[in-house]
Amino acid sequence: MKGILLIAHGSRRSESNEEVQQLTHTLRNRLDRKTIILCCAFLEQARPSIPEGIDACIQAGARSILILPYFLSAGRHVSRDIPELIHNKQIQYPDITFHLRPHIGSSEGMTDLLLSMIHPEAK
Give me the residues that bind its own copies (CB under 8 A), please: 4, 6, 8, 11, 13, 15-16, 19-20, 23, 26-27, 30-31, 66, 68, 70-76, 101, 104-118, 123
Nearer to its own copies, 92 or 116 (CB): 116
Q: Is 103 exposed, middle or buried (0-12, 13-18, 19+ CB in 10 A)?
A: buried
- Min dist. Cβ of residue 111 to its own copies (A): 5
Q: Shortest approach of its own copies to residue 34 CB, angstroms?
A: 15
| Dihedral sign, Cα of residue 63, residue 100, residue 81, residue 91 | positive
Asked if 64 and 3 touch (Cβ cutoff 8 Å), the reply is: yes
